[in-house]
Structure 1
Amino acid sequence: MRHEGRQEGRPGEGGLAGAAWPEVPPDPAVLVPVGSTEQHGPHLPLSTDTVIARAVAERAAALLPGPPLVAPAIAVGASGEHAGFPGTVSIGHEALSAVLVETVRSLALWAGRIVFVNGHGGNVPTLDAAVGRMRVEGHDAAWVGCTVPGGDAHAGFTETSVMLHLAPDLVRPFGGVAGDARPLPELMPELVARGVRAVSPSGVLGDPAGASAAAGREILEAMVAAAARRIGGGRADGRGRLLAPGAPAPEARP
């Protein structure tokens, strides 16, 4: 018996990477998952953000007209805050910005709308800057995150549950895993100044206790539904962040 989400985690199957060029329709919408290769505690794989971003992109695409093509994931992002842990690979904001900008410029030669589906919070400032720049250049580019209200910050209940649903064979035992469960806004100043390891020796920000595949299915479905609504609605602010349908547009930044 195969795990439902496991096949979706394989790049190229059913997406852009698996197509031959004559099979690419004219002016398609393209969703580009953006993740990271970074520590996710002692129990989750370094690919966690990428696995989740790819799954959200693929499942959201299936709910949208067209459907949009799903590009191979950008699997290394800006993860400097996790540099204290072996295995983390980060290219930093400047290099990630170049990757995002050139991805849009390349896709725009044959694609229509381009939406990055982001699974890593550390990529957000770069997405804001790069996608905003692309919109100024006239490209139909935007981005959306893989988030749910009330989710914990990193490698806690939220991500552990989603990974138990998507890729249970990659989840290690987590019964004794402890992390810093304070709200992210409270942690942020120390995280920025000293990195994750100074705040949480385990690398976990949150608490994976009680995580389950059943909860992960519900969380993933909420992520997908929210992403599909925003992508389908098509409204974005000046940074390219897609807005929820009916949400007021924020005032333009100076």
Structure 2
Amino acid sequence: MVGDPATELAHTAWPLVPSDVLVLLPIGSTEQHGPHLPLDTDSVIAHAVARRTATALPTALVAPTLPYGASGEHAGFPGTVSIGHEALRMVLMEAVRSLALWSGRIVLVNGHGGNTATLDTALRLLRTEGHDVAWTGCAVPGADAHAGRTETSVMLHLAPDQVRLDVAVAGDTRPLAALLPDLVAHGVRAVSPSGVLGDPTGASAAEGRSVMDTMASAAVRRITAWTVDHRGRLTDPEHPPTSRELDHQAVRP
């Protein structure tokens, strides 16, 4: 999707880049999202959250989305491209070091739960170097794990022409905690041959719009408050995460 040129770094000539600008860097993935959603689902959502967040903040720019992440658990599905944790960590660190030469604060907007362990490691190192950087996620309370109703609804709102509801199927709907041992040991395909963890039944663009509003509003609150935890993660002053939610985000496919 083409965003507002006023907020897109890629569409800005260098003399027009404000000094000490806030930069939002969306981090996505290229991985299977069941038979009905495109491989760039996480990237599309991360970019949309970053773009909507930038429009609500003074002097913010959205950097081009990083389309590859740590998606090894999806390796059993054609189309998935994973660069792994070590390569992702180095890309994130070098990107932030480069951005820090001319920007102000930097926020990494993460759309893929499998990236979180790498974000934690990279952000801790970058903050010890003195960089004013943090990360925030795109999760919402009560969301299903992967390619279910939540992500399907968001994509129906953001990119309806890319959603194939006619081939959507329900996957394993057990809680993520119950699936985790098999996911870690054998990957997503061993748990769900379709790649879906959840059930897209009932997904709608209206629900997706509401989810997007929730994610963008939370990102604005976190950035405005700028309270960074030991992981380098921005916390929400209105809705502090529980330990269970943090554990869920750390392993979500």
TM-score, normalising length: structure 1: 0.91
Q: Is the CA contact (8 Å cut-off) linking 2:35 and 2:168 kept in structure 1?
A: no
Q: 1:140 matched to which residue of 2?
A: 132
Change (3 A) 1:63 1:176: closer
d(CA) in 2 for partners of 1:171, 1:13: 28
* Structure 2: tracts of 5 or more residues without a match: 243-253
Q: Choose which of 89, 97, 105 in structure 1 pairs with 2:89.
A: 97
d(CA) in 2 for partners of 1:248, 1:208: 28
Change (3 A) 1:24 1:147: same
Q: 2:196 matched to which residue of 1?
A: 204
> Counterparts in 2 of 1:243-254, with a 5 A limit?
243-245=235-237
Q: Which amino acid aligns with 1:50?
A: S
Offset of residue 173 of structure 1:
2.2
d(CA) in 2 for partners of 1:248, 1:204: 29
Q: 1:191 matched to which residue of 2?
A: 183
Q: Deviations over 1:99-154 (max 9, x none)?
A: 00001100010011010000000000000000111001110010000011000010
d(CA) in 2 for partners of 1:176, 1:214: 18
Q: Is the CA contact (8 Å cut-off) linking 1:237 and 1:249 kept in structure 2?
A: no
Offset of residue 7 of structure 1:
3.4
The number of equivalent residue pairs is 242
Offset of residue 189 of structure 1:
1.4
Q: 1:41 matched to which residue of 2?
A: 34
Q: Is the CA contact (8 Å cut-off) linking 1:31 and 1:70 kept in structure 2?
A: yes
Q: Which amino acid aligns with 2:162?
A: L
Change (3 A) 1:190 1:233: same
d(CA) in 2 for partners of 1:244, 1:205: 27
CA RMSD, aligned part only?
Answer: 1.7
Q: Deviations over 1:71-91 (max 9, x none)?
A: 000000000000000000000
Q: Which amino acid aligns with 2:137?
A: G
Q: Which amino acid aligns with 1:79?
A: S
Q: Which amino acid aligns with 1:216?
A: G
Q: 2:245 matched to which residue of 1?
A: none
Offset of residue 228 of structure 1:
1.1
d(CA) in 2 for partners of 1:248, 1:36: 26
Secondary structure, aligned partner of 2:26: strand
Q: Is the CA contact (8 Å cut-off) linking 2:36 and 2:167 kept in structure 1?
A: no
TM-score, normalising length: structure 2: 0.92
Offset of residue 184 of structure 1:
1.0
d(CA) in 1 for partners of 2:113, 2:235: 17
Offset of residue 232 of structure 1:
1.2
The answer as to 2:45 corresponding to 1:52 is: yes
Q: 2:2 matched to which residue of 1?
A: 7
* Structure 1: tracts of 5 or more residues without a match: 1-5
Kindly report structure 1 stretches of 4+ aligned residues shifted beyond 6 Å.
247-250
**Higher fraction of helix:** 2
The answer as to 2:162 corresponding to 1:159 is: no
Offset of residue 46 of structure 1:
0.2
Secondary structure, aligned partner of 2:18: coil
Q: 1:28 matched to which residue of 2?
A: 21
Change (3 A) 1:25 1:63: same
